Amino acid sequence: MRFAVSPNDPRIAVLVVELDRGDVPMAQTWREVAGAAERLGMRRPSYQHVRRLVRIERRRRQLEARGRAVLGRAAATLAAGRVPSAVLVLERLRELRGAEELVLQEHKAFKLP
């Protein structure tokens, strides 16, 4: 088996985003991504490369979920008849966005589909 996919090939990152499920081991995701890459006529990516992309994607999803939670709490506060602090909500969302940018900088070719 040959592993010669460029680490900057965005198609591998897209496959990781689409095929990774947080409840399965990274090795399973690698097998699924490698199989899909072969079906697309590409060479299989290395385990280390896919593992790195999976870590980045899982962290990005975690930060995204935290952002939804912030907005959910603000909506619940509003629904309860109270006014949420827009400054605090926006500041927290800005912090989460900054953290997501740092995660994505780990692998510059990793872009959201």
Residues contacting 40, CB < 8 A, separation 6+: 11
Selected residue with higher pLDDT from 74 and 101: 74
pLDDT value, residue 10: 85
pLDDT by residue (tens digit) across 5-61? 666 678 998 999 999 998 999 999 999 999 999 999 988 999 999 999 999 999 999
d(CA 96, CA 100): 6
Q: What are phi and psi of 67, to 5 degrees?
A: -65, -40
pLDDT value, residue 34: 94
Residue closest to 111 by CA, chosen among 8, 24, 37: 8
Selected residue with higher pLDDT from 99 and 5: 99
What pTM, to 2 d.p., does this model score? 0.78
Overall average pLDDT of the 59-68 stretch: 93
User: What CA–CA distances, in Å, run from 35 to 11, 15, 19, 24, 98?
Assistant: 13, 10, 11, 16, 34
What's the token pair of residue 104?
A: 């994505």
User: What CA–CA distances, in Å, run from 74 to 64, 102, 106, 111?
Assistant: 16, 25, 31, 29
Domain ranges in the chain are 10-105
Q: Report how far Cα 109 is from the mean position of its chain's Cα atoms.
A: 13
What's the token pair of residue 92?
A: 């927290």
